[in-house]
Amino acid sequence: MSNVKFYSEYDMACGWEIDKIIKKIDEHAIETDWFISDLIDFHNIIKYIAIKRIADYIVEQTGIDIKEYQKKIKQKIGQFIGENKSNFILLYDDVDFMDTEDFLEILENFSIYEGISEDAFKDLLNKEYVHIYIVLKFKKLIEYFDAVVREIILSDSRNAETIISKYLKESQLYLPLSLTEEEALSLIDDYIDSPNVNINDLRKIVNFPPSKGINIPDKIKLHAKRKAKEEEEKIFSKGTGIESGVSISYPMDQDEVISINADGNMVDIKVSRKWLEENLDYPTLWNNFIYLFYFVDDRFRLVFASKKNDMSALEYAMSPNGGHIYNTSFAFEFREMIGNAQIYSYTKVLSVLGVRLEDMIEWFFQIYVKKEFKINDFIVKMPSEDASYFEKCRTILPEIDRVFKQYNVLIEDGEIDQELIQMSSSSVKNKDIKSLNEKKYVYPSSKWCQTASYLLFSNQSGIFYLPSKGEKHKNFMDLIIKEKVTRNEFKEYQIQRMKWLFDNNLIRESDDSYIEFTNIKIIYVLKELYYRDVLSYWNFSNEIKKVIDNLASRSYVSFESTLLSRNEQDYFDFYLNKTKFTNGHDLRNRYLHGTNSNDEKQYEADYYSILKLIVIIIIKINDDLCIKENNSGLYD
């Protein structure tokens, strides 16, 4: 078994691998008679010593001349390959399965494959641990053994998983040029009915985007959709899954305005009906979405939007991913469940109390913005109470476009010109809806932010685990805030990674030699960016705004001026169309083009989803207008 593996400079195992290298140097392993495992070891050692900071550390620990040692390794590698080139493929029988990829890499890098017959290479591919997925990482091997690789791919329908992965660019893979699209599609179709089909791959087929190098027909997608439904029913029939749910009630005898009780993944929300009945003015009813139901957080960022760090490592590994897939993690689905229950129950209770949410929407645009912000001619028409849910959906969806168009014209011209708006029949993309405020949103825009966030907040960074502290800390920030630790408590590989934080003045040693944050406000800003994806600049204190401005002056963060933040834009795209996300609800296009189902229950659910979107739009517009008014002196 090979001892040394190269993962990456920042992999958690890097420190242990470096210790192995130092041990090999001290034991003069390079001088011994080599086996194939030694070749693989030193092939990986070359990769490590090519990294300057690692090479410097090895020199410090061993005192060797690193350039001479590197030269000696290359000479020994050349000698071993030269002596074994004619029977090199046979050496694989002595290779540990974990080193298969290294073996193939050596085969390609040193052009050893040119002396191997097709039959010998086919025998290699048929060995137990030589999975075709690994082989397809090597372009030259695929080109040289095109026919053999094509035959192996088509021999097993499970290889459809690899083809899908290749076209979704989940990994850098190469397919033989002789493999036709018709053959690939046939393999995918066969895979759907195979006994070992993976439900995640079925979902990938259903949501496969256009223009990805292969076009999966609707018939195959429908085939996959029906099969996925069968597989889901099998899973749930066994009682597998996580129980979650939300209940909302409006008791008359409750004194507190709202009570929330959570038990695991079950949430019970109670809102005082008495309080609602005593506060039926529209401004208070609107504020309930913010301060009772928490549609937005304390910085007016949408709570429901999927965020990069919503997904656990296990969820990420088990879920379809890619830029065309909206990440619907368990955390996202749970927030959606709560939000959908809130909008539905609140609308129903208000209706009993004689208030229509649709009337509240019209009041906001036609009365409130005129009175509070002197904005005239904002027109919005909600569907009538007697209309069917299907008619309501068809009526209300165009109003979202109309709101966005009117708001853009207001920003561009300072007033709403209805004739100008009527000149255009095109819809407004969510990313193009403007804001009245400069520097509205803040985003990380540099490798600096990425590195800092990984080291400080990721549970994969490898620098926060100390045996003396146990496993109670979730990341490095948590460790430093809750414990008094010194540099001497960390392993050398951890100190090597932490050096970046020291060098960039994010951490320092106190007078008592404890590690502490240099500026906790910068850590706070980075934490907000890591967990929330975005900052709403004007909703932070002046002290935090100064920190943000300083980071921007160094090009670590950037500003954008839009009504919706990027993840809010994605949330709207997920609901309204499939332009960006193939797993979206596609509400706008389904009702516009008549591809909606003939299901009254679905019409009702869709209508409340659309109402939720309009409520969010109103909250975001009101926030934008308030920011402008509160900071008007800054723009004069």
pLDDT band at 635 (very low <50, low <70, confident <90, very high): very low
pLDDT band at 45 (very low <50, low <70, confident <90, very high): very high
Q: Give the mean model confidence (pLDDT) for residues 401-407.
A: 95
| CB proximity list for 234: less than 8 A, separation 6 or greater | none
pLDDT band at 619 (very low <50, low <70, confident <90, very high): very high
| Tens digit of each residue's pLDDT (9 = 90 or more) over 178-216 | 999 999 999 999 999 998 888 888 988 998 888 788 999
Distance CA 208, CA 217 (A): 10
> Residue 258 is inside which H or E element, if any?
strand 258-263
pLDDT at 433 over 80: yes
Which range has highest mean pLDDT (145-159, 256-270, 461-475)?
Answer: 145-159
Residue 415 to residues 344, 367, 562, 570: CA-CA distances in angstroms?
Answer: 34, 16, 18, 28
pLDDT band at 596 (very low <50, low <70, confident <90, very high): low
**pLDDT score, position 240:** 47
Q: How many CB atoms lie within 10 A of CB 313?
A: 9
Tell me the backbone φ, ψ of residue 387, rounded to 5 degrees.
Answer: -70, 150
Strands 266-271 and 258-263: antiparallel
**pLDDT score, position 636:** 41
pLDDT at 420 over 70: yes
Q: Give the mean model confidence (pLDDT) for residues 427-446.
A: 94
Burial class (CB in 10 A: 0-12, 13-18, 19+), 63: exposed
Q: Write the single-letter amino acid at 436.
A: L
Residue 328 to residues 76, 335, 569, 602, 634: CA-CA distances in angstroms?
Answer: 51, 10, 15, 20, 40
pLDDT band at 236 (very low <50, low <70, confident <90, very high): low
Distance CA 486, CA 60 (A): 22
Task: State in Å, rounded, how far the first CA of the chain is from the last one.
Answer: 71
| Tens digit of each residue's pLDDT (9 = 90 or more) over 538-577 | 999 999 999 999 999 999 999 999 999 999 999 999 999 9
3-state helix, strand, coil in the chain (%, to 5): 60, 5, 35
Q: Give the mean model confidence (pLDDT) for residues 619-627.
A: 98
pLDDT at 358 over 90: yes
Distance CA 96, CA 103 (A): 10
Distance CA 630, CA 94 (A): 73
β-partners of residue 557 are 444
Structure tokens at 313: 């490592």
**pLDDT score, position 595:** 61
**pLDDT score, position 526:** 98
| CB proximity list for 511: less than 8 A, separation 6 or greater | none
Q: Which of 630, 617, 631, 629 is nearest to 300 (CA)?
A: 617
pLDDT at 234 over 90: no
pLDDT at 354 over 70: yes
Please give the angle made by the CA atoms of 464, 470 and 475, to the nearest 5 degrees. 25
**pLDDT score, position 317:** 56
Place of tokens 């500003």: 559
| Tens digit of each residue's pLDDT (9 = 90 or more) over 109-147 | 999 999 999 999 999 999 888 999 999 999 999 999 999
The chain-wide mean pLDDT, for the chain, equals 90
Distance CA 78, CA 68 (A): 15
HSE-CB of 279 using CA atoms within 13 angstroms:
13
More confident: 323 or 614? 614
Domain ranges of the chain: 14-195, 279-436+565-635, 441-560
pLDDT at 318 over 80: no
pLDDT at 461 over 90: no
Q: Give the mean model confidence (pLDDT) for residues 524-538.
A: 97
Q: Which of 297, 369, 287, 365 is nearest to 625 (CA)?
A: 369
**pLDDT score, position 322:** 65
pLDDT band at 472 (very low <50, low <70, confident <90, very high): confident
